[in-house]
């Protein structure tokens, strides 16, 4: 999908692309969500755990969110909910403010005329003029959308989200079956034995 040069040439966008491996609309959506989330919270990139990001999908967008916000699995302030939604929540532990952003349904859905042209192109039935017309219409629509800023892409709600607790360091103990060291809180009691999840299953 076409992405305007005004976005792709931004240094912070290029950092996201370098981390992810390629340019795509998924990375762009994550980039816009992260920019908007930081703006709404009036906060900078996380140094430690002062910022929390919760993503509801495991698509390309998540990489851009980690790069821009500084929220990561390793820091314990990046959380994945397997809901299959283009939805992203950002919260500040310093202010207790949080916002949830949901991609608007029409962002990736072109108007009917444009969609019809796209189907002809995919079927190999479009003329050179029709392909050019599709590209013009698509680029114009997307340019106009990007010119409105990140807020044009998302429904925004202030959230009463209860932020997850900060990451805690726990001791590890050996699994009574395989002997591998396991975080104490991830061991499961099975009779008089404590087992890791793999051995329990």
Each residue of 65-77: pLDDT tens digit? 999 999 999 898 9
> pTM for the complete prediction?
0.81
Span 151-162, mean pLDDT? 89
Q: Residue 177: which H helix or E strand, with range?
A: none
CATH fold group of domain 5-107+153-158: 60s Ribosomal Protein L30; Chain: A; (3.30.1330)
**What class does CATH assign to 170-201?**
alpha beta
Q: Would you say 172 and 184 are in contact if contact means Cβ atoms under 8 Å apart? A: yes
CATH 3.30.60 intervals, the chain? 170-201
Alpha helices (runs of H) in the chain, residue ranges in sequence order: 5-8, 11-20, 25-41, 61-69, 112-122, 128-147, 197-200
| pLDDT at position 107 | 87
Three-state DSSP class for residue 90: strand
Per the model's pLDDT, the better-predicted residue between 161 and 48 turns out to be: 48
CATH 3.30.1330.130 intervals, the chain? 5-107+153-158
Q: Would you say 36 and 146 are in contact if contact means Cβ atoms under 8 Å apart? A: no
For 85-143, how does the pLDDT look when each residue is reduced to its tens digit (9 = 90+)?
A: 999 999 998 898 999 999 998 888 888 988 899 899 999 999 999 999 999 998 998 99
Nearest to 53 by CA among 16, 29, 78: 78
């Amino acid at each position: 999908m076409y992405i305007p040069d005004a976005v792709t040439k931004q240094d912070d966008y290029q950092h996201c692309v370098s981390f992810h491996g390629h340019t795509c609309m998924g990375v762009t959506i994550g980039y816009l969500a992260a920019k908007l989330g930081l703006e709404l919270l009036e906060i900078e990139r996380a140094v430690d755990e002062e910022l929390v990001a919760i993503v509801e999908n495991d698509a390309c967008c998540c990489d851009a969110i980690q790069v821009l916000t500084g929220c990561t699995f390793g820091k314990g302030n990046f959380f994945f909910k397997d809901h299959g939604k283009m939805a992203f929540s950002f919260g500040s532990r310093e202010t207790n403010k949080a916002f949830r952003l949901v991609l608007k349904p029409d962002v990736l859905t072109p108007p009917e005329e444009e969609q019809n042209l796209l189907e002809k192109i995919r079927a190999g039935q479009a003329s050179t003029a029709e392909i050019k017309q599709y590209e013009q219409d698509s680029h114009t629509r997307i340019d106009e959308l990007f010119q409105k800023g990140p807020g044009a892409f998302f429904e925004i709600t202030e959230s009463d989200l209860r932020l997850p607790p900060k990451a805690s360091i726990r001791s590890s103990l050996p699994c009574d079956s395989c002997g591998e060291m396991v975080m104490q809180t991830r061991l499961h009691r099975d009779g008089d034995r404590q087992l890791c999840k793999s051995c329990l299953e």
